[in-house]
Amino acid sequence: MNINYIHPADQLVMFMQRIYDKGMTTTSGGNLSIMDDDGNMWITPAGVDKGSLTRNDMVCVMADGSIVGQHRPSSEYPFHKAVYRMRPDLKAVLHAHPPALVSFSIARVCPDLDLLPSVRKICKEMQIAVYAVPGSEELGDNIGKCFVDGCDIVLLENHGVCIGAADMFTAFKKFETLDYIANLEILAKRIGNPKSLNDSAFAVTTTRDHTRMDDFIPNSHTTEELAARRDMITLIRRSYRQGLFTATQGTYSVRLSDGSFLITPYDQDRAYLEEDDIVRVKSGMKEQGRTPSRAVLLHQKMYEMHPDIHAILQAHPVHAMAFVVTDAPFDTRTIPESYILLRDIKRIPYGRNYVDHEGTSAEFGPACPAVMLENDCVIVTGESLLQAFDRLEVMESTAHSIINASAVGNIVHISKEEIDDIKVAFKLID
Q: Which is nearer to Zn ion, 83 or 281 (CB)?
A: 83
Q: Which of residues 41-100 bind Zn ion (CB under 5 A)?
A: none
- CA atoms within a 13 Å half-sphere pointing along the CA-CB vector of 262: 22
User: Residue 293 and residue 211: Cα distance in Å, rounded?
Assistant: 9
Element (H, E) at 413: none
DSSP summary character for residue 185: H
Size of residue set near Zn ion by CB under 5 A: 1
User: Nearest distance from residue 335's CB to Zn ion, in Å?
Assistant: 41
Q: Which is nearer to Zn ion, 78 or 160 (CB)?
A: 160
User: Nearest distance from residue 130's CB to Zn ion, in Å?
Assistant: 15
Q: Which is nearer to Zn ion, 156 or 377 (CB)?
A: 156
User: Nearest distance from residue 24's CB to Zn ion, in Å?
Assistant: 12
3-state secondary structure of 346: strand
- Encoded one letter per residue, x for contact with Zn ion by CB under 5 A and - for no contact, window 106-145 reads ----------------------------------------
Query: What angle is formed at CA 396 by the lines to CA 393 and CA 398, rounded to 5 degrees?
Result: 105
Task: Name residues whose C-beta falls within 8 Å of residue 371's C-beta, 6 or more positions apart in sequence.
Answer: 345, 346, 347, 348, 363, 364, 378, 379
User: Residue 261 and residue 423: Cα distance in Å, rounded?
Assistant: 32
User: Nearest distance from residue 149's CB to Zn ion, in Å?
Assistant: 21
Question: Distances from the Cα of 272 to the Cαs of 116, 242, 303, 333, in angstroms?
Answer: 24, 15, 27, 37
Beta bridge mates, 106: none
User: Nearest distance from residue 425's CB to Zn ion, in Å?
Assistant: 55
Q: Which is nearer to Zn ion, 26 or 40 (CB)?
A: 26
Q: Which is nearer to Zn ion, 26 or 387 (CB)?
A: 26
User: Nearest distance from residue 173's CB to Zn ion, in Å?
Assistant: 20
Q: Which of residues 333-372 bind Zn ion (CB under 5 A)?
A: none
Q: Which is nearer to Zn ion, 30 or 317 (CB)?
A: 30
Q: Which is nearer to Zn ion, 160 or 369 (CB)?
A: 160
DSSP structure string for 266-335: TT--GGG--GGGSEEEETTEEETT--B-TTHHHHHHHHHH-TT--EEEEE--HHHHHHHTS-----STTS
Q: Which is nearer to Zn ion, 125 or 157 (CB)?
A: 157
User: Nearest distance from residue 126's CB to Zn ion, in Å?
Assistant: 17
Q: Which of residues 143-172 bind Zn ion (CB under 5 A)?
A: 160
Measured from each CB, the residue nearest to Zn ion is 160
User: Nearest distance from residue 333's CB to Zn ion, in Å?
Assistant: 45
Q: Which is nearer to Zn ion, 175 or 330 (CB)?
A: 175
Strand 31-35's sheet: what is its strand order? 67-68, 59-61, 41-43, 31-35, 92-96, 160-165, 153-156, 127-129
Q: Which is nearer to Zn ion, 175 or 266 (CB)?
A: 175
Q: Is the separation of the CB atoms in 317 and 380 below 8 Å?
A: no
User: Nearest distance from residue 96's CB to Zn ion, in Å?
Assistant: 7
Please provide the distance, in angstroms rounded to a whole number, between the alpha carbons at the two ends of the chain. 46
3-state secondary structure of 401: helix
The b/e string for 212-231 (b: 16+ C-beta within 10 A; e otherwise) is ebeebeeeeeeeebeebbeb
Angle of the 137-148 helix axis to the 77-86 helix axis, nearest 10: 30
Q: How many C-beta atoms lie closer than 10 Å to residue 236's C-beta?
A: 23
User: Nearest distance from residue 315's CB to Zn ion, in Å?
Assistant: 31
Q: Which residues bind Zn ion (CB under 5 A)?
A: 160
